[in-house]
Amino acid sequence: MPRNKTLRILVAKPGLDGHDRGAKVVARALRDAGFEVVYTGLHQTPKMIVNAAIDEDVDAVSLSVLSGAHMYLFPEVIKLLRDQGASDIKVFGGGIIPDEDIKELEKQGVAKIFTPGATLESITTWVHENITSTKG
Partner 1 sequence: MSKDVRDAFHRWEQEVLAPALSKKPEREQEFSTISNHPIERLYTPADVEGLDYQRDLGMPGEYPYTRGIHPTMYRGKLWTMRQFAGFGTAKDSNKRYHYLLSQGQTGLSVAFHMPTIMGYDSDHDRSRGEVGKTGVSIDTLDDMETLFQGIPLDKVTTSMTINAPATILFSMYLAVAKKQGVSWDHVGGTTQNDILKEYIAQKSWIYPPKPSMRLITDMMAFASQHVPRWNTISISGYHIREAGSTAVQELAFTLADGIGYVQAGIEAGMDVDEFAPRLSFFFNAHNDFFEEIAKYRAARRIWARTMKERFGAKNPKSMMCRFHTQTAGCSLTAQQPYNNIVRTSIQALAAVLGGTQSLHTNSLDETLALPTEEAVTIALRTQQIIAQESGVAATIDPFGGSYFVEKLTSEMEEKALRYIQQIEDMGGIIEAIEKGFPQKEIGNAAYLYQKQLESNEKIIVGINEYVETDEQPIPTMQLDPEVERIQIENVRRVKAKRDMAQVQKTLQTLEQAARGKDNVMPYIIDAVQSYASLGEICDVFREVFGEYHDPKWL
| 120 contacts partner 1 (rule: CB under 8 A) | yes
What would the DSSP string read from start to end of 49-92? HHHHHHHTT-SEEEEEE-SS-HHHHHHHHHHHHHHTT-TTSEEE
* 77-116: contacts with partner 1 (CB under 8 A): 96, 98-99, 115-116
57 or 88: CB nearest partner 1: 57
20 or 87: CB nearest partner 1: 20
| 31 contacts partner 1 (rule: CB under 8 A) | yes
User: Minimum Å distance from CB 42 to partner 1?
Assistant: 5
Residue-wise burial string across 53-69, b where 16 or more C-beta atoms lie within 10 A, e elsewhere = bbeeebbbbbbbbbbee
Helix axis angle for 99-107 and 70-83, nearest 10°, is 10
3 or 107: CB nearest partner 1: 107
| 135 contacts partner 1 (rule: CB under 8 A) | no
| 34 contacts partner 1 (rule: CB under 8 A) | no
